[in-house]
Amino acid sequence: MRWSVLWIALAMGVVSAPCVFAQGAAKPAAAQKKGEAKTLQTKDGWSIAITYFESTREKDAAVVVLIPGKNDNQAMWAAFAGELNSVHDMAVITVDLRKQPKGKSSPPTGAIGAAKNPMVSKLDVEAMLAFDLDVVKRFIFEEHQNKKLNMRRLALIGGDTGTALAVQYAALDWAKLPYDDAPTLANRTPKGQDVQALVLLSPTDTFPGTNISQVLPVLRAAGVACMQVYSNKAKKDVEIADKINQGLGGNKADKPKDGDKDKPSKLALVPLDSTAAKGVDVLGKPVVVGNQTVPVNALIGGFLAKQLKEPEIEWRDRKSKLD
């Protein structure tokens, strides 16, 4: 599968024929800035902590949401979030979902019972999808309406169990029908269908409250792009990555033709031979591309830039004409 990594890297400009490494239109590392901490209120009363890295591209800005695994929290994404923001000028959001260990989100005042139990249940996972990620999307909508970003250029990055949430939420987003506020479908205001790309770090398909197999056909029909990064030393991760890739319409036996280098696939597999790291810990790990070694972060950044920034996706008002 290494050929796919080399081809994707060449097409994205992460590496070039003379073996010159670059991260696209990179800004100096010193330009990296800290995000702004915010608290969002869910419909069921939870206070969800996020950190928001604003883009200077305003209504042309792509936006990326980083979803942690069940044993992680948003602090683990901080350096990578700042890198995506400073190098690629994307708006980036990190989030602590409910019951995230050492996270800053909190239940309603006076909550008892299940809300106070640190164990994550199937109901908690369903609430992460229905409430926590929903309130993040509502925040993105508000920033979109203020012309601070373009929500149609949205990507989700998940680590470990966060990958299952990313896949499931993307499918829920694409299942939302537009408002019935115009005679023709093309002129109706969208409610969702914004997620253009997924990046899955150590993909999993076993998080209670999610069902990846059921929703992959929705994402395949929508043409959602997907990069998967995983250790070759983890047999289960390799199997799940192949399963997701094929569910999205990919085939690891298909090799692109030389003339297709300017048309990178929307599906990318990035197996890591040098590490057994999982989830967010794969960030910064080296990937052998041709006769070069490049960091995983560069491949992810290049993939997202190609999928989110290059397509012509105009900003449009997302307030329903019925309001």
Model confidence over 41-75: pLDDT tens digits?
999 999 999 999 999 999 999 999 999 999 999 99
Instruction: Tell me the pLDDT band of 105, cut-offs 50, 70 and 90.
Output: very high
User: pLDDT tens digits, residue range 290-317?
Assistant: 788 889 999 999 999 999 999 999 999 9
Q: What is the pLDDT of the chain when averaged over all its residues?
A: 88
The pLDDT assigned to 10 comes to: 54
Q: Is the pLDDT of residue 170 over 80?
A: yes
CA 85/CA 99 separation, integer angstroms: 27
Query: Would you state the structure tokens that stand for residue 270, as one six-digit string?
Result: 């990035």
Q: CB of 105 within 8 A of CB of 46? A: yes
| Residue 47: DSSP 8-state | E
CB 89 within 8 A of CB 179: no
Residue 287: phi and psi, rounded to 5, are -125, 130
* pLDDT (average), residues 23-39: 65
Residue 243 has pLDDT above 70, yes or no: yes
Cα dihedral sign, 207-92-224-298 = negative
pTM above 0.85, yes or no: yes
> Which pLDDT score, from 0 to 100, does residue 13 have?
59
Strand partners, 93: 52, 65
Overall average pLDDT of the 77-102 stretch: 96
| Burial profile 86-110: b = 16 or more Cβ within 10 angstroms, e = fewer | bbbbbbbbbbbbbbbeebbbbbeee
Q: Are 5 and 264 in contact (CB under 8 A)?
A: no
Q: How far is CA 116 from CA 108, 124, 209, 240, in A?
A: 10, 11, 19, 33
Tell me the Ramachandran region of residue 138: left when phi exceeds 0, alpha when psi lies from -120 to 50, beta otherwise: alpha
Q: What is the β-pairing status of strands 292-295 and 286-289?
A: antiparallel
